[in-house]
Chain A
Amino acid sequence: MKYLEEFQNPELARRLLDDIRAAVTRPWALMEVCGGQTHTIIRHGIDQLLPEGVELIHGPGCPVCVTPLEVIDKALEIASRPEVIFCSFGDMLRVPGTGKDLFRVRSEGGDVRVVYSPLDALRIAEQNPDKQVVFFGIGFETTAPPNAMTVYQAKKRGIRNFSLLVSHVRVPPAIEAIMQSPDCRVQGFLAAGHVCSVMGTAEYPELAERFRVPIVVTGFEPLDILEGIRRTVRQLERGEHAVDNAYPRAVRDEGNPAAQAMLADVFETTDRAWRGIGTIPQSGWRLSSRYREFDAEHRFDVGDVNTCEPAACRAGEVLQGLLKPNECEAFGTVCTPRNPLGATMVSSEGACAAYYLYRRLGAPAAPAAPLEASPVA
């Protein structure tokens, strides 16, 4: 397979870093929107290699993290019903609702299945006509088209025992909300490349202009990220704020018109709650009235669920770059990787976990050999 090693080439990465270093004259705070980009940054240690002053703020583009508790609880209730086969992508099974998660529903006898495509769920519905098959449709503009296609197919083929529990979210309203936050420190965005491969770039010039912020469509491999940073920094240094496509091998300006047409048919925009953030106007999609019969919330009448969010932590401030993890009062005492209070302490890729592992030792990482750049900080 091409397009992996080529975009991880250390020599080319070094050249991009040199370019960024040469361009930077003062501190800049950039936000990478997508969780996949955050993953690459931490996975390859890119944040440690950037010149001092160029700061990456991790955005809210993790669909698993922002799916509202209320929807998770509805999923748990539906999945617990004996007549239901509940299908989901695997990463949703560990996300806790009020007191339990889908793994626990399964351990209690619920039929919860991991599938790799929503069309697999439709196939299960065809094979089990005496069961209600529900697919958990979450995610950004990237995962919405296949879910739309599945509902479209269900209606076309008359598969009435299929329904979608839908909680889709959209990136542009989130960017708008972030820029309107009084604490906002973001000066430039690395926009989510795969979202733009579906939606195109037409939604962004207005945001770039209104908030005077560069928005650079960025891919997901290390060189993609560095190129996105390079172009964003170059704009900032020149006082520009344009939409720029640094991911042309996947993104055309017009996006994917067929996918957009499918989305427009099956979904309509709606206000959507983002877990841990709040409701952002018109930031989500729900099934349009034409497809209402395939809406699991409608079919199963789960309007009234009593939600109870676990104790809040200060991960939001950490993610905004307002608080260093070791400045949090819970850090290293009640909150550790074994007993995390927030997602940033859950995995080795979270800022809090990295701080916990390094800073409690008071020593830089990887003493085996000197680093070119500063250690995790």
Chain B
Amino acid sequence: MPDTDTLAAPDFSNWSCPLPLRDHPRVVMGHGGGGALSAELVEHVFAPAFGGPVLAALGDSAAVTLGGVRLAFSTDSYVVRPLFFPGGSIGDLAVNGTVNDLAMSGAAAAYLSCGFILEEGVETAQVARVAQALGAAARAAGVEVATGDTKVVEAGRGDGIYLNTAGIGLIPAGVDLRPQRAEPGDVVIVSGPIGLHGVAVMSVREGLEFGVDVQSDCAPLGGLVQAMLAVTPDLHVLRDPTRGGLGASLNEIAAAAGVGVVVQERSIPVPPEVANACAILGLDPLYVANEGKLVAFVPRQHADAVLEAMRAHPYGAGAAVIGECVADHPGMVVARTALGGTRVIDLPVGEQLPRIC
């Protein structure tokens, strides 16, 4: 439309709004955001290329049987910037992220591998600080770093330090945690206040520094999960809402199980500092990353006991029932707002802000 057009009035019948492009010939940042673009990459590129039945389950970790033993197996890479942030570091994330992925299968993490990808010129002392943080986090989580690898790339070809960890752990007998197991009637519980990690990292991001007293919630959730499984092994789904936040996790579960989810917005624990930071930045706390929280789909008859067990654990002290699983609107997550209206909580298409884990 040339600027020189002169119209007496807007032509609303020909209104066309811009829309995001979806067919990307090159990778864009949104492909790593944990939202719809990430899902498309997995669905159209990785899953067809690898093609295995285990991967097809698309859980946070894979459940495999080896020599008659059921193992949870998971890997994750860490590119967070800055390396140290209020409440944690890339080393804490590298341990807890993988430990938590395993925990979402019900497994206690036993062994981790750890790969360091270092950029030429990064200070050795910095590498040591990261390694020490990683070691301390592993001890706190009760997991052993059993193998590792180091690579160095030329200056300018990396961003200081990237980490990758993989982990394995045993899945207890009788435990079958999968997104596909969510069913109508399940009670949806979140283990505590949401949005802390994402806001903590953003608060120290270059160009965005703002004074807010928020610490990352980065924590290992294996102990909390064991406490929940001690109430009943028949939990249906556990998920740690990292990238994409609680909103993405609920959508993934709803889609995988073909169920609807209804949440009461007022029941979702959002700390005031997170709500305020999100209001200023124009973000929705539901899509902000967490690194020490889980969302559980629990059969109704066990919900009270599981909630009690969670609240008795330090990492579940702020646990709250936020909604329920329903048969209506399969694949869709709906929130009832504080004012009494409703809104759809959709899967975020791209990412809210880059590189927070």
Residues of A within 8 A of B (CB): 1, 4, 8, 10, 13, 42-49, 60, 64-65, 67-70, 72, 90, 94-96, 100-101, 103-104, 106-108, 115-116, 120, 177-178, 180-183, 222, 271-281, 307, 309-317, 319-320, 322, 337-349, 353-354, 357-358, 361, 363, 365-369, 371-373, 375-376
Contact = CB atoms under 8 A, between A and B. Distances in A.
B1 A68 contact: yes
Contacts of B332: 357
Nearest to A177: B10
B24 interface: yes
B286 to A, nearest CB: 11
Contact of A319 (B12, B24, B30): B12
Given A343-B18, A369-B336, A309 B1 contact: yes
Interface residues of B, number: 58
12 contacts: A10-B340, A45-B337, A72-B18, A107-B27, A281-B6, A314-B13, A315-B15, A315-B16, A316-B14, A317-B12, A342-B19, A348-B343
B15 A319 contact: yes
A126 B331 CA distance: 50
Contacts of B2: 70, 273
Nearest to B24: A104
Contacts of B13: 183, 314, 316-317
A44 B336 CA distance: 8
B157 to A, nearest CB: 14
Interface in B240-261: none
A8 B276 CA distance: 13
**Which of A45, A101, A344, A363 has the most chain B CB atoms closer than 10 A to its own CB?**
A45
B11 A277 contact: yes
B207 A120 contact: yes
A184 to B, nearest CB: 8
A117 to B, nearest CB: 8
A375 B328 CA distance: 14
B302 to A, nearest CB: 19
A13 B337 CA distance: 12
Given A42-B343, A46-B339, A181-B12, A367 B1 contact: no
Contacts, number: 216
Nearest to B282: A91
B337 to A, nearest CB: 5
Given A94-B20, A180-B9, A279-B7, A317 B329 contact: no
Contact of B262 (A95, A177, A346, A368): A368
A281 B272 CA distance: 45
B344 A274 contact: no
The SS class assigned to the B binding surface is loop
A43 B335 CA distance: 10
A182 B345 CA distance: 36
B346 interface: yes
A231 to B, nearest CB: 19
Contacts of B323: 368
A341 B19 contact: yes
**Which of B4, B6, B17, B262 has the most chain A CB atoms closer than 10 A to its own CB?**
B17
A46 B343 CA distance: 10
B123 interface: no
A171 B279 CA distance: 24
B29 A103 contact: yes
Given A347-B346, A348-B345, A366-B342, A96 B19 contact: yes
Contact of A107 (B18, B24, B343): B24
Given A45-B343, A46-B341, A279-B5, 6 more contacts: A46-B339, A276-B15, A307-B1, A310-B19, A345-B19, A361-B329
A165 to B, nearest CB: 14
Contacts of A115: 207
B9 A182 contact: yes
Given A69-B1, A367-B328, A183 B340 contact: no
Contacts of B334: 365-366
A65 B27 CA distance: 24
